[in-house]
Chain A
Amino acid sequence: MKKYYFDNCKTSQPAPEVIEAMMPYLKDKFIFPANFVSAGSTAAEELEGFKKIIADSIGANTSEIHFTSSGTTANNIAIKGFLSENAKHGTHIIVSVIDYPDLLTNAAFFEKSGFDVTYLETDEDGFINLEQLENAIRPDTIMFMTTFVNHTVGSIQPIKKIREILDTADHKIVMHVDAGQAYGKLPINANELGIDLMSISAHKIHGPQGVGALYQRKGVIIGHVIHGINRLDNHQTGAVSMANIAGFSKAVELTFRDFNQNVNHLRELSNYLLEKIEKTIPYTLLNGPRGESRAPHNINVSFDYIEGEAIMLMMDMAGISVATGSACASQGLKANYILMAMGRNHEQSHSSMKFTLSRYNTKEEIDYAVEKLAEIVKELRSRSPLYNKE
């Protein structure tokens, strides 16, 4: 059966060029980057080249990029490294209730060890409350963290405006940004946006799994988080996977080579998907904003009277991969915390379906998916005691 993949926010298919770029490093070029011996020096030079590709894509210098084993590792090195090193300057941090779990679990970890955490609220479209941010800033606030593009509803946080608010403080407040869902979907210039620390991940942009990067603005000091052998720099402890890094930079090259074209394609597809769903299926509700303040690859819709795991499973049987915010599909049996924070009720959260698109998706695939979705929604509604329409 042909597979229709619309869960690219979770992970995306590696591009064929990416796999090709990785292969030499899995075969003959297995040597670690090092000085003096010829193979090691070549690897070290190549590594610098890969770093430059990543750095250029976000307007950074190569010295500001550290490769990590995932976006989550980058988040941990940034948050734990910064807070443990800078606790002497203050122990107050700000995050929002709709942030990515990496940020929220780290905030909770530091809260337990004595930090004060302010959790900003969200509006009904998934944008953090900026007025609350202004009021939350204190003399001992040392860090603000945010998720650039919300992983559930695609809302794009106004980073530049946030920077301006943080800069009204009499002291420097470091901003850490999880850009896992933003990188490759929006133009990001870390310097211009005033971002101090930022995590990105390869497998969200058709790169390999198991590699990410941390951007650390020059002058922002973070302590060691992972101790051990120091092969390249302080934050890249342990062995590096040259194959993954090579694949990552190839994915970056491909993403940014035709950046505008890729983004326009995603925007066009997601508009088409939403329009088609809203035209074909009654009693739906878009979660998150409409238009340009939404990431171009994300559509999240709730379907009244039915439950999301059932929809997801039937879609799966038709060869279509999508995600749901239903409690029944979660490990902890809890309704999606982001939708609930946005003021959606339990039913709306349980029935939410998330489509995240990639440059490999086509209009024809969307036609098929929505046709199946309409059938499935109709079938499940006919079984539901809550649905008395027809």
Chain B
Amino acid sequence: MQYSQKVLDHFMKPHNIGKIENPDAEATEGSPACGDQISIYLKINAKTQVIEDIKFQSYGCASNIATGSIITDIAMGKTLKEAKKIGWKEAADALDGLPPIKMHCSVLAVDTLHKAIKDYEVKHNLAEADKFNKETIVEELKKVIYPQVGEDIVTLKMVKYAGFENGVAIIDLEIPKFDEHRDNVVEEIREHLEHYKEIKEVKITI
């Protein structure tokens, strides 16, 4: 497995690293237990909705730090509307690609940026907080990357069923029994869903 020179450059000398005191918005995603966590801080011009400053902090591997660096570069100077359109593939491409097993780092960085923007919009009555429903579960599953190929499990049609009944998220997966990434995918799904207060239990069948 090799990192591109661009990943290494951003890892060694990350841009926009640090914390903004009194930020207009912030978000933290991931967890140390999973080996990666990222915090993003925003300063936003209330009139123009332009991101005037953005910083990040990272607990994670080289690709986690590099994606934090590149995503803050891309978002700097953009309006909130523009920044919301940034996707994880765009971030990975801007780094000249990531190894498939590291693609989830890009998803985490972009997701954190989107959460920080949402935080701002909700605080300023520009948007309502997300309402939880079955679609939320599918959206979260789209952020779970199958490490072997670096694509999400919904696109890969590994999710046979996703439902929500009486506080129980029910996920039916299709992954071979001896797939070395199976436990990792299951763990990732749990990580994405378990912090929703609406979900009391995550039932995954394979």
Contacts and interface: CB of A to CB of B under 8 A. Distances in A.
Given A313-B11, A334-B184, A384 B59 contact: yes
Contact of A383 (B3, B14, B32, B34): B14
B58 interface: yes
Interface residues of A, number: 25
B97 interface: no
User: 7 tightest A-B contacts by CB?
Assistant: A328-B61, A309-B61, A385-B57, A346-B33, A385-B39, A333-B184, A347-B32
Interface in B10-46: 11-12, 14, 17, 19, 28, 32-39
A329 interface: yes
Contact of A347 (B33, B61, B180): B33
Classify the secondary structure of B's interface with A. Answer: mixed
A307 B183 contact: no
B202 interface: no
B183 A334 contact: yes
A329 B60 CA distance: 11
Nearest to A333: B184
A305 B57 CA distance: 12
Interface string A372-390: 0000000000011110000
Contacts, number: 77
A189 to B, nearest CB: 39
A310 B59 CA distance: 9
Interface of B: 3, 8, 11-12, 14, 17, 19, 28, 32-39, 57-62, 64-65, 101-102, 147, 180-181, 183-184
A1 interface: no
Contacts of A306: 59
Contacts of B59: 305-307, 384-386
Contact of B60 (A328, A335, A345): A328
A269 interface: no
Interface in A31-67: none
A327 interface: yes
Contact of A332 (B8, B58, B181): B181
